[in-house]
């Protein structure tokens, strides 16, 4: 959960997860739908799928006991170098260097590493490994993460409170706010799509499940065209609608940002039937709808209610 997400955001989700599934066997026995439902709003949904797959792998391959060594942990779904090192060090006190973005920042400043990220990553990992103590490696890992998160922050670091201020090369040179250097990121491209708000005469709305692999994999969605670099013509989009209907464009568009691109969705509303999942609008919250789909729901409900406000 903490991959790419802050502790403050993750905390309530973590509490709900462990209350519902208190051990790895319980999590493995849960359905992916249940997990995605509780994950709604946390983003990066591949983590939820990996979490479920990892729990099942631990139960099936490891007898419900987590491996203690980083190489074995890296064989589990969703666990890369950083997560394996963090688990091994924090949970089992193995001598491993858990290097996340916070730790990279601390090390880049401590040693005044001028190479920009991500080029500097191997050197920063090596420098961190050299500092890991033989005893209490887990405490060291957490201390490094907390130092970066609370004191050696990206902007306006609180150097006066830092326990390493007297030996920090960046602080002694006045470079603490310029390191680590970052490679300039390109602008995120804009993609376009058209979503279809299909209602039956009884007022229920059509939903469908996205493919397991890919962006928002396994989540429930409002059906839409593929997302592409060129805007869709209305007549072209309708050929990909879930059914033949009298499709009417709704005013405005829905904007959403993903890590690597921005998305703009127009919406068409129609009435008819089609294969899929049907839900009343007041029960859409029972489905694993990611934030983007919740935006589409709000937009459609608001736009369709507009003529009745008077």
Q: What is the pLDDT of residues 21-49, one digit of tens each?
A: 999 999 999 999 899 889 988 888 889 99
pLDDT band at residue 5 using 50, 70 and 90 as cut-offs: confident
pLDDT, residue 56, reads 97
R_g of the chain, CA atoms, integer Å? 24
Spatial separation of the C-alpha atoms in residues 4 and 256, rounded to whole Å? 18
- Which of 62-76, 176-190, 218-232, 235-249 is the least confident region? 176-190
Among candidates 189, 222, 225, which has minimal Cα distance to 208?
222
Residues of the chain with pLDDT > 90, as a percent, come to: 83
Q: What is the pLDDT of residues 271-293, one digit of tens each?
A: 999 999 999 998 988 888 889 99
Q: What SS3 state is found at 65?
A: coil
H-helix segments, the chain: 7-20, 24-29, 32-39, 46-62, 70-73, 81-92, 101-110, 121-131, 137-150, 169-173, 234-238, 291-305
**Average pLDDT over every residue of 178-207:** 93
What lies within 8 Å, CB to CB, of 37 at 6+ separation is 286, 287, 288
Spatial separation of the C-alpha atoms in residues 55 and 28, rounded to whole Å? 5
pLDDT at 20 over 60: yes
| Residue carrying structure tokens 């369709």 | 304
pTM of the prediction?
0.73
pLDDT, residue 309, reads 45
What would you measure as the largest C-alpha separation in the chain, in angstroms?
Answer: 72
Q: How many helices (H) and strands (E) does the chain have?
A: 12, 7
pLDDT, residue 132, reads 97
Instruction: Quote the tokens at residue 7.
Output: 């502790």
Q: Which domains does the chain have, with CATH numbers?
A: 94-185 (1.10.1670.10), 190-308 (3.90.79.10)
Q: In terms of C-beta density within 10 A (0-12 exposed, 13-18 middle, 19 or more buried), how is residue 203 classed?
A: exposed
pLDDT, residue 308, reads 47
Kindly report each contact of residues 155-161 with a partner whose C-beta sits within 8 Å and lies 24 or more positions away, as own/partner. 157/109
Asked if 296 contacts 265 with a C-beta cutoff of 8 angstroms, the reply is yes
Asked if 208 contacts 202 with a C-beta cutoff of 8 angstroms, the reply is no
Spatial separation of the C-alpha atoms in residues 120 and 227, rounded to whole Å? 34
Backbone phi and psi for residue 252, each to the nearest 5 degrees, phi listed first: 80, 180
pLDDT band at residue 307 using 50, 70 and 90 as cut-offs: low
Q: What SS3 state is found at 114?
A: coil
pLDDT at 233 over 50: yes
- Which of 125-134, 204-213, 233-242 is the least confident region? 204-213
* Distance spanning both ends of the chain, measured CA to CA: 46
pLDDT, residue 216, reads 87
pLDDT, residue 243, reads 96
């Amino acid at each position: 959960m903490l991959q790419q997400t802050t502790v403050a955001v993750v905390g309530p989700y973590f509490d709900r997860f462990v209350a519902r599934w208190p051990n790895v066997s319980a999590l493995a026995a849960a359905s992916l739908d249940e997990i995605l439902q509780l994950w709604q709003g946390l983003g990066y949904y591949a983590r939820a799928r990996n979490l479920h797959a990892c729990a099942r792998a631990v139960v099936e391959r490891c007898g419900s006991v987590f491996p203690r060594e980083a190489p074995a942990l890296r064989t589990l779904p969703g666990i890369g170098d950083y997560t394996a090192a963090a688990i091994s060090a924090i949970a089992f006190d193995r001598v491993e260097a858990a290097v996340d973005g916070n730790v990279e920042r601390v090390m880049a400043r401590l040693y005044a590493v001028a190479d920009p990220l991500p080029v500097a990553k191997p050197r920063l990992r090596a420098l961190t490994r050299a500092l890991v103590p033989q005893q209490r490696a887990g405490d060291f890992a957490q201390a490094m993460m907390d130092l970066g998160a609370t004191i050696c922050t990206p902007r306006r670091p609180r150097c006066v409170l830092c326990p390493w201020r007297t030996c920090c090369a960046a602080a002694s040179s006045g470079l603490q706010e310029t390191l680590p250097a970052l490679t300039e990121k390109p602008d995120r491209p804009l993609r376009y799509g058209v979503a279809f708000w299909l209602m039956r005469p009884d007022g229920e709305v059509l939903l469908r499940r996205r493919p397991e692999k890919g962006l928002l994999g396994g989540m429930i969605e409002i059906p839409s065209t593929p997302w592409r670099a060129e805007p869709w013509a209305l007549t072209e989009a309708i050929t990909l609608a879930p059914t033949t209907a009298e499709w009417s464009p709704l005013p405005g568009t829905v904007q959403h940002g993903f890590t690597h691109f921005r998305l703009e969705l127009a919406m068409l509303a129609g009435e008819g039937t089609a294969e899929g999942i049907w839900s009343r609008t007041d029960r859409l919250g029972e489905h694993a709808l990611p934030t983007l789909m919740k935006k589409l729901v709000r937009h459609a409900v608001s736009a369709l209610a507009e003529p009745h406000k008077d």
